[in-house]
Chains A and B, each alone.
Chain A
Amino acid sequence: MAKRSGCEAIHPGYGFLSENADFAQAVVDAGLVFVGPPASVQRALGEKTAARRLAQSVDVPVALGTEPLRDLAAAHEAAGKIGYPVLLKPAGGGGGKGMRTVRREEDLDAAWQGATGEATTAFGQAALYLEQAIMSARHVEMQILADGHGSVVWLGERDCSVQRRHQKLIEETPGPWVDERLREQLGEAAVRIAKKAGYRNAGTVEFLVDHGGRFYFLEVNTRLQVEHPVTEMVTGLDLVALQLAIAAGEPLPFAQADIVRRGAAVECRITAEDPAAGFLPASGVIALVREPAGPGIRVDSALFTGMTVATEYDPLLAKVIAHGRDRVEAIARMRRALEEMRIAGIPTSLPFHRSTLFHQLFITGRYDTTFVAQWEHRTLDELADGAVSAAALAAVLASRALSEHRAVTPVDQPWARSAREDALR
């Protein structure tokens, strides 16, 4: 299709095709340019245990872990050596899909079954490996850019610790507890890994940072991340444009010392999930959308009224990004934006995001990867009396409209209408 339409290059977005080495190779074999790292680099980094070995070879610390496991018996033996809790991870892919935390030995069998199933569905291969689970750590990742001329730079970190089941819900930069020294250490570690791998294009190196400030390499995402806009907001760089320039063979137009980060940015991923029901995926038709705007607000979305949301795909509906002079301003702008946003027709994560932006742990930046699990849904926060009355009034109107609608629908067939019209004559 690309060839028929006369295009020269393919940008794979950030979905499944973006980390599929066979796809990247097929694009190149067809005489086109793949916007991303070469297939060989994707293969080397896409196999997670190989990526861990590569990181260790350039003195980047990794959590205790194994090679791909032969079978469940090998998993039991390895987990016993590492010590529970452990993480069971698919060797074939990232994005948190198919990953399981195993707290006790008696849970390992069930986790093995579930993770094998999800890994096969998501990545087409069942290989699993084990890693020591570093509990209540922060998920911090470093954005890098590498051109085809040997230049590799880091742009800054993103804290993505507000996640549930390893799916991110809020990301921000700078990381609220990342100081200049840790930032440089993470940046330099990421650059060492990228250079060793022969990396090209935009990429993200993920780390866990524990409460003592020690960091451990997790994996490299060989693509643009969903959360890349926060880095764009503070650096003023257009990462997609740079990806295209790199793919076209151009050198990076700046050096490490030229990169300036201004202020802070936060991203909320609004998803089709119901936070009141344990983030169950929701499906249905979008009945109404209003997206926020204003100073420092960016919305990346494809939502429209009448859109059908199915459960077969990723639940992401829209990304709301707020930028401010500092973290306080970015949060204030995000609060206002979320208050302004409306999505009706299906339950969304909006109530979670709205309340989190007022949550003490979020405001102080003291959250870690256990935040969402500890979050509790509150239905009615401090509403003014007038708003409560308005809500009650609207609730009655809405239920009346619904029951009238129900009463009318069954008889509103063409023949019934025609019969009624006849009777009216």
Chain B
Amino acid sequence: MAADVRETVRGRQWSIRLDGESHEVTLVTHEPMRLDVDGHDVLASVIDERAMRASRGAAASRSGRVELRAPMPGLLKAVHVKEGDIVERDAPIVTLEAMKMENELLAPIRGRVAKLNHTAGAKLEGGVVVAVLIAE
């Protein structure tokens, strides 16, 4: 397949000609990889061989441990569970206030609360681990 690729904005936007058709692809965010393809929204992931080997390793040693991370910076308004609690999937774990709105972070799995890293009132950076759950 012959493609003519031109990087129109460095690391962000490409003009790609394929089979006589021109497409514009914009990288909206890296992680997860969101693309805008000719005005349509696409979620993409690139798996190279090294990453595939790494993920196979992770699968082998999987212990059912899940980290709940703050998806954005904000104020931790409330913690709804204690360490040792068994929570159902989708149970509210903490309430995070950002942009004057309160958002509940829910348990992604049914499990035991193994660790709570912050207490109510803490100001959190985006991406920090708030709680660790172990699958039950």
Interface of A with B (CB < 8 Å)?
97, 114, 117-118, 121-122, 165, 167, 276-278, 280-284, 287-288, 311-315, 338-348, 350-351, 354, 379-381, 383-384, 386-399, 401-402, 405
Interface flag for B28 (CB, 8 Å)? yes
Q: Please tell me if the beta carbons of A121 and B18 are within 8 angstroms of each other in the complex.
A: no
Tally of chain B residues near chain A (CB < 8 A): 49
Q: Please tell me if the beta carbons of B39 and A338 are within 8 angstroms of each other in the complex.
A: yes
Q: Please tell me if the beta carbons of B27 and A394 are within 8 angstroms of each other in the complex.
A: yes
Q: Please tell me if the beta carbons of A386 and B46 are within 8 angstroms of each other in the complex.
A: no
Whether A288 contacts B12 in the complex (CB less than 8 A), given A391-B35, A395-B46, comes out as yes
Q: Please tell me if the beta carbons of A386 and B18 are within 8 angstroms of each other in the complex.
A: yes
- The complex places the Cα of A278 from the Cα of B72 at a distance, in Å, of 13
- The complex places the Cα of A280 from the Cα of B21 at a distance, in Å, of 36
Q: Please tell me if the beta carbons of B39 and A354 are within 8 angstroms of each other in the complex.
A: yes
A-B contact count (CB 8 A): 146
Interface of B with A (CB < 8 Å)?
1, 3, 5, 7, 9, 11-14, 16, 18-19, 21, 23, 25-30, 33-46, 48, 71-74, 77, 95, 97-103, 126
Q: Please tell me if the beta carbons of B25 and A312 are within 8 angstroms of each other in the complex.
A: no
Whether A402 contacts B19 in the complex (CB less than 8 A), given A276-B43, A351-B41, A395-B35, comes out as no
**20 further contact pairs, Cβ within 8 A, besides A280-B72, A342-B36, A402-B11:** A121-B100, A283-B126, A288-B13, A338-B39, A339-B38, A339-B40, A342-B26, A345-B29, A383-B42, A384-B21, A389-B3, A391-B42, A391-B44, A393-B5, A393-B14, A394-B27, A394-B37, A397-B5, A398-B35, A398-B46
Q: Please tell me if the beta carbons of A347 and B73 are within 8 angstroms of each other in the complex.
A: no
Chain B residues with Cβ below 8 Å from A388 are 37
Q: Please tell me if the beta carbons of A311 and B13 are within 8 angstroms of each other in the complex.
A: no
Residue of A nearest to B80 (CB): A110
Whether A311 contacts B16 in the complex (CB less than 8 A), given A114-B95, A379-B43, A387-B40, comes out as no
- The complex places the Cα of A93 from the Cα of B102 at a distance, in Å, of 17
Chain A residues with Cβ below 8 Å from B27 are 344, 394, 398
* Nearest Cβ on chain B to A99's Cβ, whole angstroms: 11
Whether A311 contacts B25 in the complex (CB less than 8 A), given A288-B13, A383-B42, A394-B14, comes out as no
